[in-house]
């Protein structure tokens, strides 16, 4: 099993604020996005990732996020198993983002 890199929400905010060239991939389900989301994220639910790999530009660093970091870690592992690298799991997911970065964000 490959060691998956992690990124915290402060580092993610810095990447977004400085317009770094990377992909933020949200693997939560559609109904979760109705509650809260980060606008810049590409949304592909975890269940359909294998059929939608062509939508992801693996030439860029990829930060994968979910609610708390569990599903995104699984997706990072899946990508690593497919031979991709430059992957980061968002530690604590959107829950940490809401707690530490955007207290106005709805949580669930």
Point out the residues that are catalytic. 66
CA-wise closest residue to 101 among 42, 14, 34: 14
By residue count, the chain amounts to 108
**Containing H/E element for 15?**
helix 9-17
């Amino acid at each position: 099993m490959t060691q998956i890199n992690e990124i915290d929400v402060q580092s993610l905010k810095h990447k977004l604020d400085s317009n770094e060239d990377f992909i933020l991939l949200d693997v939560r389900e559609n109904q979760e996005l109705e509650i809260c989301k980060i606008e810049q994220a590409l949304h592909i639910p975890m269940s359909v990732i294998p059929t939608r790999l062509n939508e992801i530009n693996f030439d860029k660093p990829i930060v994968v996020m979910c609610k708390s970091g569990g599903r995104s870690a699984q997706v990072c592992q899946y990508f690593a198993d497919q031979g991709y690298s430059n992957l980061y799991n968002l530690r604590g997911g959107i829950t940490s983002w809401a707690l530490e970065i955007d207290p106005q964000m709805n949580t669930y």
